[in-house]
Amino acid sequence: MGTIVIKFGGTSVATTEKIQHVAKRIIDLKNSGKNVVVVVSAMGKTTDHLLQLAGEITETPAKREMDMLLTTGEQVTISLLSMALIEKGVPAVSLTGWQAGIITESVHSNARILDIKTNRLDELLQEGKVVVAAGFQGITESGEITTLGRGGSDTTAVAIAAALNAEKCLICTDVTGVFTSDPRYVEGARKLSAISYDEMLELANLGAGVLHPRAVEFAKNYNVSLEVRSSTENEDGTVIEEEVSMENNLVVRGVAFEKDITRLTIFGLSNQLTGLSSVFTVLAENHIDVDIIIQSQTDTNTTNLSFSIKNKDRKEAVNVLESQKETIGFEHIEYEAGLAKVSIVGAGMVSNPGVAAQMFNILAEKNIQIKMVSTSEIKVSAVIEEDKMEEAANILHDEFKLSVGQEVR
């Protein structure tokens, strides 16, 4: 019997009424003759409420204790959903992260999954039970409760699907699929019927917000068939798979954008071989994500190094770098906040070398200054001023013919 892993996010289980609705969808799936593992997040406002409680205690809560606190959120959802299923006559068993065998590394608030010990899952599925597992959470080898960070429930779902060799992993969310861009900001943004892992990965990394990048990476690595679809509407979503041929006449598949970016520049960085690596080692050790990196030679002994980070990490990034100033060897640090990143993504770019130039031209034409650039085989990103972000996204969406009615199929 095939196994389906189906994930519902916080909005889909925000009230007991919505949980009842989710239970019905699960029962339909179960009745279609599948083994079903459900992965759920905390109910809507629960996490906010817990964060508020922690905030009343201290401004700097210990990360271990935050994990202890936040993981209660999903535990509430799994028990309520299991009650709803049992009430409707479907045998269901809830499992916390540790009960589901989700082993993570020993990092609090942002741990990665190392392994899934599936014996308990296997056993329960074999007994015909619907398993309702808590997303977002895991346990270290030494028995500490950890969380996977933002969007962690997606990762839990994909990892379980991979471990169980599931037929499919359905990510049910409050949108009906993956769009060419965010419809709230970009006029004419439309749903894609399919997209490749790599494209989705770029879109996810670029802040499209539908799927956590770690989840997509996991899916790609283990070749898990993913589908993003609505948690309420019964329409086809977007399939994420290895090769997407249907729409390959589209060079660009999506436009992504992301606010709250800071460009940090280290002036007079020592030109020794270790300079660059020591900067990013320090940042990595402090779990600060660095995105675009640009190095420019100034004289023979030093370079200037610019990179983009999240606004929220700026203070800590500056602190940890300053504290290692002697070891790393640099003159001073400057930063510019209030930036945004706009990106175009598409597997077709590989064979269409003019795409980046087309992007830069249209932005220049519309007087939008580009402050940093980064490219990959299937993506071009530009860092611009935050208040130009929405305009730029619409311009690019239109330029690359992504709007409703423009699609050639």
Nearest approach, Cβ of residue 14 and a copy of itself (Å) = 12
The residue among 11 and 79 lying less far from a copy of itself, judged by its C-beta, is 79
Place of tokens 């650039």: 373
Kindly state the helix (H) or strand (E) to which residue 1 belongs, with its residue range.
Answer: none
Nearest approach, Cβ of residue 83 and a copy of itself (Å) = 5
The residue among 70 and 363 lying less far from a copy of itself, judged by its C-beta, is 70
The residue among 65 and 316 lying less far from a copy of itself, judged by its C-beta, is 65
Instruction: Give the Cα separation of 175 and 208 in Å (integer).
Output: 12
Closest C-alpha to 219, from 166, 143, 281, 182:
166
Instruction: Give the Cα separation of 19 and 274 in Å (integer).
Output: 54
Instruction: Give the Cα separation of 319 and 329 in Å (integer).
Output: 15
Give contact residues for a copy of itself (rule: CB under 8 A): 16-17, 19-20, 50, 53-54, 56-58, 60-62, 64-66, 68-69, 71-72, 75-76, 78-80, 82-84, 86-87, 93-94, 96, 99, 120, 143, 145
Nearest approach, Cβ of residue 72 and a copy of itself (Å) = 4
Nearest approach, Cβ of residue 392 and a copy of itself (Å) = 42
Q: Are 140 and 103 in contact (CB under 8 A)?
A: yes
Q: How many residues does the chain have?
A: 409
Q: In this structure, how many other beta carbons lie within 10 angstroms of the beta carbon of residue 331?
A: 12
Q: Are 340 and 309 in contact (CB under 8 A)?
A: no
The residue among 143 and 353 lying less far from a copy of itself, judged by its C-beta, is 143
Closest C-alpha to 151, from 214, 221, 94:
214
Nearest approach, Cβ of residue 241 and a copy of itself (Å) = 35
Nearest approach, Cβ of residue 64 and a copy of itself (Å) = 8
Nearest approach, Cβ of residue 120 and a copy of itself (Å) = 7
Instruction: Give the Cα separation of 340 and 386 in Å (integer).
Output: 5
Nearest approach, Cβ of residue 151 and a copy of itself (Å) = 22
The residue among 89 and 353 lying less far from a copy of itself, judged by its C-beta, is 89
The residue among 29 and 66 lying less far from a copy of itself, judged by its C-beta, is 66
Nearest approach, Cβ of residue 166 and a copy of itself (Å) = 23
The residue among 152 and 177 lying less far from a copy of itself, judged by its C-beta, is 152
Nearest approach, Cβ of residue 331 and a copy of itself (Å) = 37
Q: CA angle, 130 as apex, 71 and 114 as ends, to 5°?
A: 45
The residue among 82 and 278 lying less far from a copy of itself, judged by its C-beta, is 82
Give me the residues paired with residue 94 across strands.
132
Residue ranges of alpha helices (H) inside 32-179 are: 46-57, 63-87, 119-126, 152-163
**Residue 200: φ, ψ to 5°:** -60, -40
The residue among 46 and 231 lying less far from a copy of itself, judged by its C-beta, is 46
Indicate left, alpha or beta for 260 from its phi (over 0: left) and psi (-120 to 50: alpha). left
The residue among 68 and 333 lying less far from a copy of itself, judged by its C-beta, is 68
Long-range contacts of the stretch 179-184 (C-beta < 8 A, 24+):
179/208, 179/210, 179/254, 180/253, 180/254, 180/255, 180/397, 180/402, 180/403, 181/254, 181/255, 181/256, 181/257, 181/393, 181/397, 181/402, 182/208, 182/209, 182/257, 182/393
DSSP secondary structure, 333-349, as one string: EEEEEEEEEEEEE-GGG
